[in-house]
């Protein structure tokens, strides 16, 4: 929709050109959320497109995803065959409530910064041990794991004027075997629980719980646990208050789905070992 | 900036954060629609460099230097893209508002995406079709037929507006450019109940571009109802254009009229309003309890408010026989309390309109309405204007579903046009649709039912509490309808109704497809099912033993006093047979884990073919010199397909083909009267008027020809665009020319008073699987049988049935407006209010009973509303069959179903 209170759009090309952050500013990446709701408190957008950050960079150490990388670009990535976790990318893209048309515009960074529990790029990058690089408003740089970056429903570690620059995915995470489960109140609707399990080289299990909880929760096991142990660990780690409550799923159901999907993942990965 | 749009270069600078959608529309590309303006519905889809995007989410400046293709540019000028042709061949649209975006999206799908339409099309919402016809288009299927002269009725002819719809050229409410337009934005109440003490307009008026501010001080001090009915006494006079008291969050407080939407919005933000907060009540049971805050204190029976001291708009009580003692003597009884939620029509075109006063002083209102004539009547009354000084009209309307049987914008438009003397525009946002128009009436229904050992009903009792929200538009007739046909369809010696509709400080409820019946049927049809279960007989059998048959009185206490309902035809028995056979038919085997429980359920509905107490339609048809005809009707086209049917009726009566019938519609300037396109009357009432006009003209043509040929008029017949008198054949064109030569135009009128009325029937069957571990539902089979009389257009009627089932499945499984304790709608957007998408709906097998109605036009009956009615009830019955648990609240969402499933199955 038209954002009629916006009087100016800044188009910096490099960090030095970033305007001083003032009240009424907002970063513009894809704009798919920004333009989807009235933003009457805003007067200026700072467009990140002209930075022309390389969307995806594959290196010996893994994958770097620019904050402005679109979902479609990520989904189209030709992954090296040794990235056993590659199927997760499409699985998580498909978990978007929005269609492939939105993927062409929406960005990975934008999804993280929105910090909705159901943000599937949060699920993906959290499960892959992603590390965020943040350009702080003061001119510095900070790092935070994705699991720590998102702190609650539509809450994250960014302070005013901080900018998410990129997410780095370590190679080791990309080389793990994974299992994916997602459920929604409707067949292709917003995720009410999205769980990803992965098995490391030594048989360690990492389970990442998203969508059902207000922020990502990651559990690590040195080996695949038994059903009871997994269940107990989830009950212990995820207090009832951590389950998200909105029109897309009641907390008690989200909790049950979390336990159920976790067990399915456990069983699937155990079958692979 | 330079934009290439449909191959042409434009140099233009959009506003800083203008989205591409409005930028394109400002340049005249009206094929780019606004359904949500939030990226959820896909109606604004365009291609950028060949790739589909939602243009409402794309900043216009990002299209700088790129090639944009709108629906108007998909095919070379004058041409038709293969996907546009496919949509025409399959008739993959009803209202057509989603069609441009749908076609652009479909045209861009690759083979893999075409194999997975549920995912590929989840960004394109169609509220009308249920998607089957869209799938047909993608599969290259042709659903349309042709018809010879005089044989149009009963054939699957395409909609006359189809070519315009698929090219984005059909004009909806806002698809017209006007010079000097002022924009209206409404300031809305943040309080559920408050008195406006003072509005300081100074700051708002100082905003550059703001022309004026209108509030209660400017509005006529006249009470009316936003509901539009032929008889004003059906609804309470409880509403003002702007009121001093606001009764729900979202009620309009003031209008800012400005040179731009931006200025009008800014003006609204600058208005300073001093409110005296009043106590509020949002729960209907609390609202009618003693001591509750009074919402319409001071209103009386004079305004048709039954009991303002208890927030009761209307109530109905009556008993035939003695229900209590009948229940005590019954072999089996059932009692249950059911609740239905608030749902929104979600027509993809929002409410809105344009208004201006012409040089002759006539007020013109172009709006998105189902009732132009009744809206004109309201405006003449509110503003003290003579009828010939007010014109209300619509071209194509982007969906209605009852939501546009109301006047939500035309009063403000008229006020603003009259006060400013300038053309004005008011277009609601999607959020305004949710928070400030109308919804379905939420109801709590307690049903008691009994049967004897033979399965004959002994008692039926309904206790209904309906919630009309802050205003009583449609409160009473919806309540009466809900308690009417739902139990009238069953023979039962003892029946009782206690029904109350309450005011609450929430967004008003209003007319909605089904008009109360879907809510009460959830309870009644569950009770019938439970009695069958208790007796060990089939759901079909218990219904066959108890349904009314021709000759049986159709009774609901306290009795309506309407004596004009007859069995013009009867096909309920056939409908039950169709559904039973189809449910028994072997389907593809399905591989489901042990977690899935399977169950079947059915439900039936009866509906009077015309709303009560008068529904009037006039039609006029004239012979043109070229041998074609001009047909003028008042009824509106919003996807109901009546434009197609009217031409079929006229062409059949006049022995011509539909392309010879030019249709003018839905404009009070054309004269005559039309109550409106609601209650499925576009065919059953207005079509009857068209039939009468066409038949009258046919007689005139015969008379004219017999005089010209000097033959006995009784020997003249109409055949193949001619009158044949003995051995002489006079083509219509020659008759038209001959008449003209005599200074004569051959034309005839027809009208229908909407009485007497007949009854139509529907039966829905579902087979579902329920996952006892997650609460998920899968629909394995959906079967619907409809008794629509002689079906005027089988393809379109099937589309109405499928669309009704689809919309109703939305209300059964997904849709729910959540109102918080403070009375605020907490999910006023499509991403939080889930309309069924392609992936969410089964394909429904549709069957028609073989009947011909004695009252309806050429034997046809109503069939747009009623397919909606039995869906939730049938699905609830299937759920009960699958799980052994009677779920009593819709929507049946997994997170609600799961707790009882968990309790029962572990």
pLDDT tens for residues B811-850?
999 999 999 999 999 999 999 999 999 999 999 999 999 9
Dig out the tokens for B366 from the structure: 């172009």
Alpha-carbon span B214 to A135, nearest angstrom: 48
The average pLDDT across B576-592 equals 92
Of B351, B355, B495, the residue nearest B433 (C-alpha): B351
Q: Which residues of B touch A189 (CB under 8 A)?
A: 834
Is pLDDT of B563 > 90?
A: no
pLDDT digits (tens, 9 = 90+) for B128-140: 999 999 999 999 9
User: pLDDT band for position A201 (50/70/90)?
Assistant: confident
Is pLDDT of A235 > 90?
A: yes
How many C-beta atoms surround the C-beta of residue B756 within 10 A?
Answer: 15
Strands B363-367 and B352-357, how do they pair? antiparallel
The average pLDDT across B210-219 equals 97
In chain A, where the domains are located: 8-50, 51-172, 176-270
- Cis ω before B869 (30° cut-off from 0): no
User: Residue A53 has what pLDDT?
Assistant: 98
Q: Which residues of B touch A98 (CB under 8 A)?
A: 39, 122-123
pLDDT digits (tens, 9 = 90+) for B278-324: 999 999 999 999 999 999 999 999 999 999 999 999 999 999 999 99
pTM higher than 0.95: yes
User: Residue B590 has what pLDDT?
Assistant: 85
User: How many residues are recorded in chain B?
Assistant: 906
User: Residue B587 has what pLDDT?
Assistant: 80
Q: Do B893 and A8 touch (CB under 8 A)?
A: no
Is pLDDT of B562 > 90?
A: no
Dig out the tokens for B620 from the structure: 């006029």
Cα torsion B867, B871, B874, B878 to 10°: value is 140
Q: Which residues of B touch A7 (CB under 8 A)?
A: 16
Q: Is B455 left (phi over 0), alpha (psi -120 to 50) or beta?
A: left
The average pLDDT across B468-478 equals 98
Alpha-carbon span A74 to A90, nearest angstrom: 9
Gap from A143 CA to chain B (nearest CA, Å): 30
User: Residue A272 has what pLDDT?
Assistant: 79
How many C-beta atoms surround the C-beta of residue A151 within 10 A?
Answer: 15
Gyration radius from chain B CA atoms: 27
- Is the separation of the CB atoms in B525 and B878 below 8 Å? no
- Is the separation of the CB atoms in B515 and B345 below 8 Å? no
The average pLDDT across B784-803 equals 98
Q: Which of B16, B38, B775 sits opposite A9 (nearest CB)?
A: B16
Alpha-carbon span B521 to B340, nearest angstrom: 11
Is pLDDT of B473 > 90?
A: yes
SS3 A115: coil
Is pLDDT of B212 > 90?
A: yes
Gap from B887 CA to chain A (nearest CA, Å): 17
Q: What is the 3-state secondary structure of B578-629?
A: HHHHHHHCCCCCCCCCCCEEEEEEEEEEEEECCCCCCCCEEEEEEECCCCCE
Of B153, B199, B21, B214, the residue nearest B100 (C-alpha): B21
The enclosing H or E element of B270 equals helix B261-270
Alpha-carbon span B388 to B328, nearest angstrom: 62
Return the residue of B nearest to A99 by Cα: B123
Q: Which of A8, A101, A256 sits opposite B52 (nearest CB)?
A: A101
pLDDT digits (tens, 9 = 90+) for B32-74: 999 999 999 999 999 999 999 999 999 999 999 999 999 999 9
Tokens 């006009």 locate to B693
pLDDT digits (tens, 9 = 90+) for B520-542: 999 999 999 999 999 999 999 99
User: Residue B74 has what pLDDT?
Assistant: 97
User: Residue B560 has what pLDDT?
Assistant: 79
Q: Do A45 and B899 touch (CB under 8 A)?
A: no
Q: For A248, phi and psi rounded to 5 degrees?
A: -90, 5
Strands B617-623 and B629-633, how do they pair? antiparallel
The average pLDDT across A31-56 equals 98
Q: What are the start-end ranges of the H helices in B91-213?
A: 99-107, 111-114, 117-120, 132-138, 162-166, 202-205
Enumerate residues 6+ apart whose C-beta is below 8 A from B885: B879, B900, B901, B904
Is pLDDT of A178 > 80?
A: yes
Q: Which of B38, B775, B818 sits opposite A36 (nearest CB)?
A: B38
Identify from A4, A6, A44, A93 which residue to disrupt to test chain B contact, counting B C-beta atoms within 10 A and taking the largest count: A4
What is the residue-averaged pLDDT of chain B?
A: 97
- Is the separation of the CB atoms in B354 and B392 below 8 Å? no
Alpha-carbon span B256 to B269, nearest angstrom: 10
SS3 B645: helix
Dig out the tokens for B8 from the structure: 């042409």
* Distance from chain centroid for Cα B823: 25
Helical packing angle, B686-709 and B642-653, nearest 10°: 30
User: Residue B49 has what pLDDT?
Assistant: 97
Gap from A268 CA to chain B (nearest CA, Å): 16
Return the residue of A nearest to B19 by Cα: A2
User: Which of B37-51, B156-170, B548-562 comes out lowest in average pLDDT?
Assistant: B548-562
DSSP state of B814: I
Of B172, B6, B173, B24, the residue nearest B93 (C-alpha): B172
Return the residue of B nearest to A7 by Cα: B16
Is pLDDT of B378 > 90?
A: yes
Alpha-carbon span B430 to B406, nearest angstrom: 17
Strands B596-608 and B759-771, how do they pair? antiparallel
How many C-beta atoms surround the C-beta of residue B75 within 10 A?
Answer: 17
Return the residue of A nearest to B817 by Cα: A247
How many C-beta atoms surround the C-beta of residue B128 within 10 A?
Answer: 30
pLDDT digits (tens, 9 = 90+) for B741-774: 999 999 999 999 999 999 999 999 999 999 999 9
Alpha-carbon span B761 to B607, nearest angstrom: 6
Q: Which of A49, A188, A253 sits opposite B894 (nearest CB)?
A: A253
DSSP state of B136: H
Dig out the tokens for A173 from the structure: 């995470």
Helical packing angle, B894-905 and A251-272, nearest 10°: 70
pLDDT digits (tens, 9 = 90+) for A107-155: 999 999 999 999 999 999 999 999 999 999 999 999 999 999 999 999 9
Gap from B89 CA to chain A (nearest CA, Å): 26
Gap from A181 CA to chain B (nearest CA, Å): 13
Identify from B818, B895, B896, B898 which residue to disrupt to test chain A contact, counting A C-beta atoms within 10 A and taking the largest count: B895
Of B544, B568, B672, B681, the residue nearest B620 (C-alpha): B672
Gap from A206 CA to chain B (nearest CA, Å): 24
How many C-beta atoms surround the C-beta of residue B671 within 10 A?
Answer: 11
- Strand partners for A1: none
The enclosing H or E element of B518 equals helix B517-535
Gap from B829 CA to chain A (nearest CA, Å): 9
Domain A176-270 class, CATH top level: alpha beta
Gyration radius from chain A CA atoms: 19
Dig out the tokens for B541 from the structure: 């059998």
Of B847, B385, B757, B251, the residue nearest B576 (C-alpha): B847
User: Residue B588 has what pLDDT?
Assistant: 82
Q: Do A99 and B122 touch (CB under 8 A)?
A: yes
Q: Do A256 and B898 touch (CB under 8 A)?
A: yes
Q: What is the largest distance, in Å, between two alpha-carbon atoms of chain B?
A: 88
Alpha-carbon span B671 to B373, nearest angstrom: 10
SS3 B637: strand
Of B1, B25, B27, B28, the residue nearest B13 (C-alpha): B1
Q: Which fold has domain A51-172?
A: 3.30.465
Enumerate residues 6+ apart whose C-beta is below 8 A from B735: B623, B627, B701, B704, B705, B708, B723, B746
Q: Do A188 and B265 touch (CB under 8 A)?
A: no
Is pLDDT of A202 > 90?
A: no
How many C-beta atoms surround the C-beta of residue B829 within 10 A?
Answer: 19
Q: Do A101 and B45 touch (CB under 8 A)?
A: yes
Percentage of chain B beyond pLDDT 70 is 100
Alpha-carbon span B268 to B214, nearest angstrom: 11
Its ipTM equals 0.97
The average pLDDT across B210-228 equals 97
DSSP state of B302: G
User: How many residues are recorded in chain A?
Assistant: 273
User: Residue B77 has what pLDDT?
Assistant: 85
Q: Which residues of B touch A183 (CB under 8 A)?
A: 774, 776, 894
Give every strand in the sheet of A217-221, ordered side by side: A177-184, A191-199, A205-210, A217-221
Percentage of chain A beyond pLDDT 70 is 100
Buried b (16+ CB within 10 A) or exposed e, A218-245: bbebeebbeeeebeebbeeebeeebbbe
Q: Is B644 left (phi over 0), alpha (psi -120 to 50) or beta?
A: alpha
Q: Do A102 and B832 touch (CB under 8 A)?
A: no
- Is the separation of the CB atoms in B612 and B665 below 8 Å? no
The average pLDDT across B88-105 equals 98
Alpha-carbon span B784 to B780, nearest angstrom: 14
Strands B844-848 and B777-787, how do they pair? parallel
User: Residue B11 has what pLDDT?
Assistant: 94
Alpha-carbon span B464 to B497, nearest angstrom: 8
User: pLDDT band for position B648 (50/70/90)?
Assistant: very high
pLDDT digits (tens, 9 = 90+) for B663-691: 999 999 999 999 999 988 999 999 999 99
- Is the separation of the CB atoms in B257 and B264 below 8 Å? yes
Alpha-carbon span B473 to B382, nearest angstrom: 16
Residue ranges of E strands in B705-746: 716-719, 722-725, 728-731
SS3 B851: coil
């Amino acid at each position: 929709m038209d954002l009629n209170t916006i009087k100016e759009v800044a188009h910096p090309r490099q960090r030095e050109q970033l305007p001083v952050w003032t009240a009424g500013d907002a970063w513009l990446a894809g704009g798919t959320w920004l333009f989807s709701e009235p933003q009457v408190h805003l007067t200026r957008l700072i467009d990140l497109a002209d930075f022309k950050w390389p969307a995806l960079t594959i290196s010996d150490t893994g994958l770097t995803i620019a904050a402005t990388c679109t979902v479609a670009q990520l989904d189209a990535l030709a992954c090296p065959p040794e990235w056993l976790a590659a199927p997760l990318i499409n699985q998580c893209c498909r978990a978007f409530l929005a269609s492939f048309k939105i993927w062409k515009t929406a960005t990975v960074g934008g999804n993280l910064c929105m910090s909705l529990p159901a943000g599937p790029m949060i699920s993906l990058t959290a499960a892959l041990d992603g590390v965020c690089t943040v350009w702080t408003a003061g001119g510095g740089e900070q790092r935070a794991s994705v699991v720590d970056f998102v702190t609650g429903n539509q809450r994250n570690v960014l302070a005013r004027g901080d900018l998410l620059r990129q997410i780095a995915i370590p190679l080791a995470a990309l080389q793990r075997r994974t299992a994916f489960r997602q459920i929604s109140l409707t067949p292709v609707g917003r995720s009410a629980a999205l769980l990803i399990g992965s098995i490391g080289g030594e048989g360690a299990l990492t389970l990442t719980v998203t969508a059902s909880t207000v922020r990502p929760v990651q559990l690590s096991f040195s080996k695949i646990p038994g059903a009871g142990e997994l269940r107990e660990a989830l009950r212990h780690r995820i207090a009832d208050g951590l389950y998200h409550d909105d029109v897309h799923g009641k907390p008690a159901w989200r909790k049950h789905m979390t336990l159920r999907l976790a067990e399915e993942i456990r069983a699937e990965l155990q079958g692979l070992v | 900036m330079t934009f290439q749009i449909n191959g042409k270069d434009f140099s233009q600078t959009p506003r800083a954060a203008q989205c591409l959608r409005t930028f394109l529309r400002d340049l005249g590309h009206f094929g780019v629609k606004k359904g949500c303006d939030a990226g959820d519905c896909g109606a604004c889809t365009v291609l950028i460099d060949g790739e589909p995007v939602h243009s409402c989410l794309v900043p216009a400046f990002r299209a700088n230097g790129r090639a944009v293709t709108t629906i108007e540019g998909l095919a070379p000028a004058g041409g038709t893209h293969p996907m546009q042709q496919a949509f025409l061949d399959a008739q993959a649209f009803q209202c057509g508002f989603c069609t441009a975006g749908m076609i652009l999206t479909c045209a861009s799908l690759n083979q893999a995406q075409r194999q997975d339409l549920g995912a590929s099309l989840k960004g394109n919402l169609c509220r009308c079709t249920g998607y089957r016809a869209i799938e047909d288009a993608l599969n290259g299927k042709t659903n349309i037929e042709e018809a010879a002269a005089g044989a149009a009725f009963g054939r699957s002819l395409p909609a006359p507006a189809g070519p315009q719809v698929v090219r984005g050229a059909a004009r909806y409410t806002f698809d017209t450019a006007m010079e000097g337009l002022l924009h209206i934005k409404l300031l809305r109440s943040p309080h559920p109940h408050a008195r406006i003490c003072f509005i300081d307009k100074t700051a708002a008026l100082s905003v550059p571009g703001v022309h004026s501010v209108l509030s209660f001080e400017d509005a006529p001090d006249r009470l009316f109802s936003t509901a539009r009915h032929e008889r004003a006494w059906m609804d309470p006079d409880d509403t003002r254009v702007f009121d001093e008291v606001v009764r729900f969050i979202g009620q309009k407080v003031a209008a800012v009229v400005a040179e731009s939407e931006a200025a009008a919005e800014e003006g609204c933000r600058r208005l300073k309003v001093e409110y005296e907060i009043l106590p509020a009540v949002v729960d209907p049971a609390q609202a009618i309890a003693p001591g509750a805050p009074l919402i319409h204190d001071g209103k009386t029976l004079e305004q048709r408010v039954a009991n303002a001291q208890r927030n009761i708009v209307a109530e109905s009580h009556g008993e035939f026989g003695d229900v209590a003692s009948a229940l005590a003597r019954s072999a089996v009884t059932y009692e249950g309390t059911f609740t239905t939620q608030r749902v929104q029509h979600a027509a993809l075109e929002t409410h809105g309109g344009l208004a201006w006063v012409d040089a002759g002083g006539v007020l013109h209102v172009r709006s998105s309405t189902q009732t132009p004539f009744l809206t004109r009547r309201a405006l003449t009354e509110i503003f003290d204007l003579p009828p010939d000084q007010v014109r209300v009209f619509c071209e194509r309307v982007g969906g209605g579903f009852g939501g546009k049987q109301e006047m939500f914008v035309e009063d403000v438009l008229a006020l603003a046009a009259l006060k400013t003397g300038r053309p004005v525009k008011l277009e609601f946002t999607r959020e305004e649709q949710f928070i400030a128009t109308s919804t379905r009436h939420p109801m709590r229904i307690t049903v008691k039912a009994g049967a004897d050992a033979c399965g004959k009903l002994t008692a039926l009792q309904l206790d209904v509490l309906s919630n009309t929200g802050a205003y009583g538009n449609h409160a009473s007739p919806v309540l009466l309808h809900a308690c009417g046909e739902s139990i009238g369809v069953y023979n039962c010696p003892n029946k009782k109704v206690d029904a109350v509709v309450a005011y609450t400080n929430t967004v008003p409820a209003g007319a909605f497809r089904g008009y109360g019946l879907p809510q009460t049927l959830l309870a009644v049809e569950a009770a019938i099912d439970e009695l069958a279960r208790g007796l060990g007989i089939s759901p079909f059998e218990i219904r066959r033993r108890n349904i009314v048959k021709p000759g049986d009185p159709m009774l609901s206490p306290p009795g309506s006093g309407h004596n004009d309902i007859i069995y013009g035809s009867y096909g309920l028995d056939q409908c039950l047979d169709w559904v039973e056979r189809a449910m028994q038919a072997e389907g593809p085997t399905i591989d489901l884990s042990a977690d899935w429980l399977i169950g079947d359920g059915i439900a039936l509905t009866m509906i009077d073919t015309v709303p009560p107490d008068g529904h009037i339609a006039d039609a006029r048809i004239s012979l043109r010199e070229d041998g074609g005809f001009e047909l003028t009707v008042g009824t509106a086209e919003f996807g109901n397909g009546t434009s197609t049917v009217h031409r079929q009726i006229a062409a059949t009566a006049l022995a011509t083909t539909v392309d010879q019938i030019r249709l003018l519609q839905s404009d009070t300037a054309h004269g005559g009267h039309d109550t409106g396109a609601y209650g499925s009357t576009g065919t059953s009432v207005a079509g009857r008027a068209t039939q009468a006009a066409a038949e009258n003209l046919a007689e005139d043509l015969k008379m004219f020809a017999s005089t010209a040929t000097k033959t006995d008029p009784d020997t003249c017949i109409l055949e193949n665009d001619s009158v044949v008198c003995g051995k002489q054949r006079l083509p219509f064109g020659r008759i038209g020319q001959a008449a003209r030569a005599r200074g004569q135009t051959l034309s005839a009128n027809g009208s229908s008073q909407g009485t007497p009325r007949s009854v139509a029937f529907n039966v829905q069957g579902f087979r579902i699987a329920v996952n006892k571990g997650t609460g998920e539902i899968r629909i394995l089979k959906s079967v619907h049988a409809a008794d629509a009389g002689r079906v005027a257009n089988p393809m379109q009627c099937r589309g109405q049935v499928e669309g009704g089932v689809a919309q109703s499945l939305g209300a059964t499984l997904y849709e729910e407006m959540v109102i918080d304790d403070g009375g605020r709608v907490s999910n006023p957007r499509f991403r939080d209010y889930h309309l069924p998408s392609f992936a969410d709906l089964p394909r429904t097998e549709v069957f028609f009973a073989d009947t011909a109605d004695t009252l309806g036009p050429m034997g046809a009956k109503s069939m747009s509303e009623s397919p909606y009615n039995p869906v939730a009830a049938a699905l609830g019955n299937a759920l009960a069959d699958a799980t052994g648990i009677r779920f009593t609240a819709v929507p049946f969402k997994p997170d609600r179903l799961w707790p009882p499933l968990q309790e029962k199955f572990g």
